[in-house]
Amino acid sequence: MRHVRLLPVAPRPCKDELLTSWQCRIASRYSSTPPKILAWLGGRSVSMRDSFEARDFRPDQDMTWRWARACRLKERDLQRLALSNLERPEDCYVRNPLQRGVCAVCLDDDAEQGGDHYCRRSWAHVEAVACLKHGVGLQSACQRCFRVGLFQFQFLSDGARLVCPWCATVISERGRRQPRQSRMLESMSAIGRAIDGKGVQLDEVMAACRFLWAAQPHGSPYIAYLGISLPYGRLPPSPRASAPLSTLPLAWRAASIEAMAELAALLEPRAVGTVPPFLHEAFRKFRRGEGQQAAEEPAAAAQAESAGLKLRSDGDYRRLALQILNSQAWKTTPANSRRKKNRAIGRLMNRALSGG
């Protein structure tokens, strides 16, 4: 019989908790880390930077056995925390914990009920950019020092709390409640249902994601052409072709969610849609396989581009430009911010070219 040491204090895992969250909550009580505790239990030392699959999706059985025995739990109760039991494809989870977010209102609820903070499994879903329960955006940056980093568990007098690793501020939403994000929540719910239901809708969602982030031979990916305000800074490095959402930072996933739901026909387009009409047409071509073809010769590519875009005459472009300059929207364009002004100009151009 294998001998395993016991941990004197070990809280029970919550029903919807990530396995690594539970391990970190326990480790915080001993001012340690899960890898150090596992080594103390006689297991193979597992780095906190090990793969998502080894730690949360399909954890090692020897590791779960040792943790279960040390905490006086049944091994199957820990195995149930593995994300592979939820019957979602692995590509439908955010692989890097740094790219996920937390709902500070949920954490406040945990504290008010006298329990520890803990990380929900739903926060690892690729479409999780806001809390469906409280209607607020998930956060991955400290609201005090504004630095981005993986929040850490620290055991305080009232329990385990998620804190900023830089300034040690407890993550909380008290006094900073955000407005509900109705359209974003609708998009998240629709995408979640499509993923859990699998079938044709899941294929459409994954295709829409690949389409928005597919590298273009003559410019930025299509995500850059949406009529929305994109996160500050450069586009992130080109993500994995098969499942871009699983590798994107939180802010860029939030920018993608609504457009994906609209392209996959999960939501009715708005009067002023997130996705311009020319992107709907490009997506239809992408789904027919035209977006996967090899690069053409420059002359042929230029001819195809002209035919696909249905270029107007110089006179038409001049007329559209004058309409923009004479419009009230142009006269109220922000003048104090170059970035906001460029976004506003882009929206006016998209609206004019699409006949809006």
Ranges of H-type helices in the chain? 19-29, 34-40, 52, 61-70, 75-79, 104-112, 182-197, 199-213, 250-263, 277-287, 298-309, 314-326, 328-331, 338-353
- What per-residue string of b and e applies to 283-321 under the rule 16 or more CB within 10 Å gives b? beebbeeebeeeeeeeeeeeeeeeeeeeeeeeeeeeebe
Q: Which of 131-135, 257-261, 303-307, 342-346 has the lowest average pLDDT?
A: 303-307
Residues 216 and 336: their CA atoms lie apart, in Å, by 32
Residues 314 and 311: their CA atoms lie apart, in Å, by 9
Q: Which of 104-118, 213-227, 292-306, 340-354 has the lowest average pLDDT?
A: 292-306
Residues 205 and 211: their CA atoms lie apart, in Å, by 10
pLDDT at 2: 56
Task: Give how far Cα 194 sits from Cα of 134, 201, 253, 273, 355, Å.
Answer: 22, 5, 17, 21, 32
* Residue given tokens 């326990």 in the structure block: 26
Residue 306: pLDDT above 50? no
* Residue given tokens 């607020």 in the structure block: 136
pLDDT at 241: 66
User: Average pLDDT of 343-355?
Assistant: 75
| pTM given for the model | 0.76
Residues 11 and 72: their CA atoms lie apart, in Å, by 10
Residue 302: pLDDT above 70? no
pLDDT at 48: 57
pLDDT at 295: 38
Q: What integer best gives the mean pLDDT of the chain?
A: 83
Residues 162 and 55: their CA atoms lie apart, in Å, by 19
Backbone angles phi, psi at 175, to 5 degrees: 80, 0
pLDDT at 125: 95
Residues 90 and 161: their CA atoms lie apart, in Å, by 28
Q: Which 3 state secondary structure label does DSSP give 17?
A: strand
**Top-confidence residue, 334 or 46:** 334
Residues 226 and 256: their CA atoms lie apart, in Å, by 9
Residue 130: pLDDT above 60? yes
User: Average pLDDT of 296-317?
Assistant: 52
Cβ(279)–Cβ(263) below 8 Å: yes
